[in-house]
A and B are shown apart, each in its own frame.
Chain A
């Protein structure tokens, strides 16, 4: 009896390891903050009170969480099939660019057609880009980790080329000043392709919310996709097969499941999720493609997926936590006049990942030992 109680206790601990990891990481962060001669209590207070202390803060947090939900689902979904898709960055680039291209090319279409078309383009771009490592893995056995990373750099170069092809014409101001675009970018997408900000929905329900807040309908799409990912994985045959391949490819093959088909499909669905980042970045925020070096959204998706234990609900929660850290970190950066660079948050995210995997392993080991005794 006592053993069973203890066993349940450890199951509980296993469920909350991510929380412990986050607290430990914040502790490491405060050591770093102390080392550079700042006050950790002030920093964390500023961070959290600004991020979740008011509606504007929450809006900004959800706005930053949106792309992380997509990229977190990217990693989590592929992981369920035993695949490491760390090419979310590249898949996101291609999907996002494609969404922008549809948005500024088919400007005559009504919103009812153009918005779904842009969303589809984003998903298709990501899926296509992820299909390459998927096919190489399934048909030839090439490990997906290096390939997906290489595909990130190729995607970055490809969109750089494409943005120069579709570069927005210089504005009158720029012509007058004789300057070039600082960051190469395309023309803006059509009004009909833009996703409304959540402000409009809040206004409909008479909820007070700042109109300048950037959180938009893409957040709702992200939540929908998280539910979809859950549905596919646990309620469909395809999901069952994908998880079977993830548990044991050999057993799945023996059970009549095509391993290579599921690997390719899992990669493509996972890539489609990454591509949908475009709904937030282009359709809901910048309204155009801007060529920037890696935003790290794809890589942070790995941390989000791990922290969320590769479960859609966990991913959403982890993405919101990272949204809090990212937005709060930016505010702290402003408050301390740059004395605390926002990259501290990146470091914290890496520390969280390491603590999550370590504590997961520790708990698993303890449980195994307990099981043997029981």
Chain B
């Protein structure tokens, strides 16, 4: 039975499930590296998912939908930055408010524009690998490799590029050094002439854009529809992945893949295993709790994460 489950298709679907988690988790990395906790990832994913489907159906072009999702994410990131950086409000409260806002606004507009709360996607992105010439016919290994690595949405490859770029930006550029210094020791960074407010705005808005992109993948590519509350706690699982990945891009990607494996396994086990489906549905959430507990003492957050920066501490 296990052999039927753990095949190339399974690994490919794990990658698919992991993609939005990884993207949102990377958003969390950017935000927290700069010292701002972003609980609002969940709402940004949800709003991105809705915007992607709504705009795709109107423009009949999924790429425009993806762009809309990113823009919506940027907008919510901007709100989070205004409340947390400019007004120094409690970052968790602001994030919670964004999640509430997202739950409301997505259903509000799906009633208004479509008259229902479940919207099908009319135009899909192409899956490039399906058009590959039949190389390696007869060789199971090559076929499996193609299934695992080539049969994906273009967004999956975009995600990989984004991760490599993010790693370079955070660890190999002056900008990245400044970003990290702002999240570790803002007083020192301020003394060195780094504009803390600007850095945090850029980071939080980037995290919004990434979460919006994650949302577009979730609705356009993974589900092929939008339904209310479809983010299903993924924003928080992404945060767990970020913590387990020790606030690094590749660590977060690895942890997201772990969650992807868990969720893909849960999907596969439905109807196969003797365990009731409701318990299988708990797997991602239980895994997140387990991962967080096991990360205790091992994963150290950026020192200034969650602390608003006060210039004049006397």
Any A CB within 8 A of the CB of B100: yes
Contact present for B94 and A354 (CB under 8 Å) = yes
Contact present for B108 and A341 (CB under 8 Å) = yes
Which of A58-66, A254-262, A277-285, A357-365 forms contacts with chain B?
A357-365
List the A residue with the shortest CB-CB distance to B100.
A350
Contact present for B276 and A354 (CB under 8 Å) = no
Q: In whole angstroms, how far apart are the Cα atoms of A147 and B112 in the complex?
A: 34
The listed residue (A84, A146, A154, A343) touching B104 by CB distance below 8 A is A343
Contacts of A154 in B (CB 8 A): 282, 285-286
Task: Tell me the residues in window 141-159 of chain A with beta carbons closer than 8 Å to chain B beta carbons.
Answer: 141-143, 145-147, 149-154, 157-158
Q: In whole angstroms, how far apart are the Cα atoms of A95 and B292 in the complex?
A: 25
From known contacts A146-B240, A357-B93, infer whether A350 and B98 are also in contact, taking CB-CB under 8 Å. yes
Contact present for B89 and A361 (CB under 8 Å) = yes
Contact present for B107 and A353 (CB under 8 Å) = no
Task: Count contacts on A: residues with CB < 8 A to the other chain.
Answer: 48
Q: In whole angstroms, how far apart are the Cα atoms of A296 and B233 in the complex?
A: 14
Contacts of A303 in B (CB 8 A): 97, 100
Contact present for B96 and A150 (CB under 8 Å) = no
Q: In whole angstroms, how far apart are the Cα atoms of A154 and B286 in the complex?
A: 8
From known contacts A157-B278, A343-B104, infer whether A150 and B233 are also in contact, taking CB-CB under 8 Å. yes
Any B CB within 8 A of the CB of A263: no
Contact present for A358 and B89 (CB under 8 Å) = yes
Contact present for B292 and A343 (CB under 8 Å) = no
Interface residues on B, range: 35 or more
Task: Tell me the residues in window 93-148 of chain B with beta carbons closer than 8 Å to chain A beta carbons.
Answer: 93-94, 96-101, 103-105, 107-108, 111-112
Contact present for B87 and A361 (CB under 8 Å) = yes
From known contacts A136-B293, A142-B292, A161-B279, infer whether A354 and B97 are also in contact, taking CB-CB under 8 Å. yes
Q: In whole angstroms, how far apart are the Cα atoms of A351 and B100 in the complex?
A: 9
Contact present for B111 and A343 (CB under 8 Å) = yes
Q: A58: shortest Cβ distance to chain B, in Å? A: 25
From known contacts A141-B296, A142-B292, infer whether A343 and B107 are also in contact, taking CB-CB under 8 Å. yes
Contact present for A142 and B282 (CB under 8 Å) = no
Interface flags, A291-303, vs B, CB<8A=1, else 0: 0011010011011
Any A CB within 8 A of the CB of B92: yes
Q: In whole angstroms, how far apart are the Cα atoms of A360 and B93 in the complex?
A: 12
Q: Which of B92, B104, B233, B296 has the most CB of A within 10 A?
A: B104
Contact present for B229 and A149 (CB under 8 Å) = no
Contacts of B161 in A (CB 8 A): none
Any A CB within 8 A of the CB of B39: yes
Contact present for A351 and B87 (CB under 8 Å) = no
Contact present for A349 and B112 (CB under 8 Å) = no
Contact present for B100 and A299 (CB under 8 Å) = yes
Q: A92: shortest Cβ distance to chain B, in Å? A: 16
From known contacts A146-B240, A146-B288, A354-B97, infer whether A161 and B278 are also in contact, taking CB-CB under 8 Å. yes
Q: Which of B79, B98, B112 has the most CB of A within 10 A?
A: B112
Any B CB within 8 A of the CB of A179: no
From known contacts A140-B293, A146-B240, A147-B289, infer whether A294 and B83 are also in contact, taking CB-CB under 8 Å. no
Q: A249: shortest Cβ distance to chain B, in Å? A: 15
Q: Which of B83, B96, B288, B297 has the most CB of A within 10 A?
A: B96
Residue positions of B touching A, CB distance < 8 A: 39, 79, 83, 87-90, 92-94, 96-101, 103-105, 107-108, 111-112, 228-229, 232-233, 236-237, 239-240, 276, 278-279, 281-282, 285-286, 288-289, 292-293, 296-297
Q: Could you list 23 examples of A-B contacts with CB < 8 Å?
A: A84-B92, A140-B293, A142-B296, A146-B240, A153-B282, A154-B285, A157-B279, A160-B278, A293-B228, A294-B229, A299-B96, A300-B100, A302-B100, A343-B107, A344-B104, A350-B101, A354-B89, A354-B97, A357-B89, A357-B94, A358-B89, A360-B89, A361-B88
**Apart from the given pairs A153-B282, A299-B103, 17 other A-B contacts in the complex at a CB distance below 8 Å:** A140-B296, A146-B292, A150-B288, A300-B100, A341-B107, A341-B112, A343-B111, A346-B104, A350-B97, A350-B98, A350-B104, A351-B101, A353-B93, A354-B79, A354-B89, A357-B94, A357-B97
